[in-house]
Structure 1
């Protein structure tokens, strides 16, 4: 089997594991995986790009869970559920947009940062395959966030906008994306993490010294 096929297979398996952990709300294990990735990229030379991406995802994941906990506590104190859910989806949307912007401008900002501190190793900063794939995943994240939020607002239009309940009742079944939201988000999130790991393997393989056939024969 070709190395590229092995990397693809490994990515699929890893994405499945992450999806199960994320969907089952195994937050501690999920954070542990991210922390292990961060430590691994920090200890290995030549992984500056993936280190930056992993640090960002680790930070926004922590912010996301902290914000979710805060909004859940507001619900427990009496905030209506439809408002709480709208706030949670808005939080997800804001984080996904910020991640999209981070990926889009990561290389440019990093090079300016390096130039400011006079670091000469500017060649270590460049867009990887992970940047392009994660950018596309972020667009999918944002589309799902907007669709779910729009469905939620439409379903509860009588509470948000004071529309007559008889009119709002006609849209109560507009919840396809909203009901699938946890599953879709888990799949996208796990795909993002698997992409980073697969890119790390590919980047490491490119840096490994090649062995000639004559050397093997000797």
Structure 2
């Protein structure tokens, strides 16, 4: 069975840290591919300052630079808005693929605000990837407290397809402080290089 990690996000813009955690996840989890799901609009983020989907997808294609990292706008195609619905749709569409959700530690403190977050965590395993400054808050967040009884040992990382759900693992990887916020501040016109209207 093909093993695919899902890295969802706004990618506003995508950058080298996304690539770094994807490559590390492939190595640590034994993944065949990582799919970057470029969200049309994160329900928890304001559309203010959000570049077009085409520009964000273009930046993801430029940043991926790896044959097994696949930037996609599949949520736009499937018309799903919430991660729980996106994952369910992907599992129906690709029954031959085992999926694991990849999540930066900065996202974990918000996870309990996701639509039907417990149902989401029961759909597929989750790998939390360490990021600077965020691990402390991640480990005491409501979702992690709820899920701590199902936290998997590091030694079982490559056996994630055998885990009973819900299941979560925290991977301590080499960290990078690069962020989309800093890139936007340094280069406010970044989207103009990618915004050609191309989604497919």
TM over 0.5: no
Tell me the TM-score normalised to structure 2 length.
Answer: 0.25
Whose RCO is larger (CA < 8 A, sep 6+)? Answer: 1
The structure in which a higher percent of residues are strand is 2
The structure in which a higher percent of residues are helix is 1
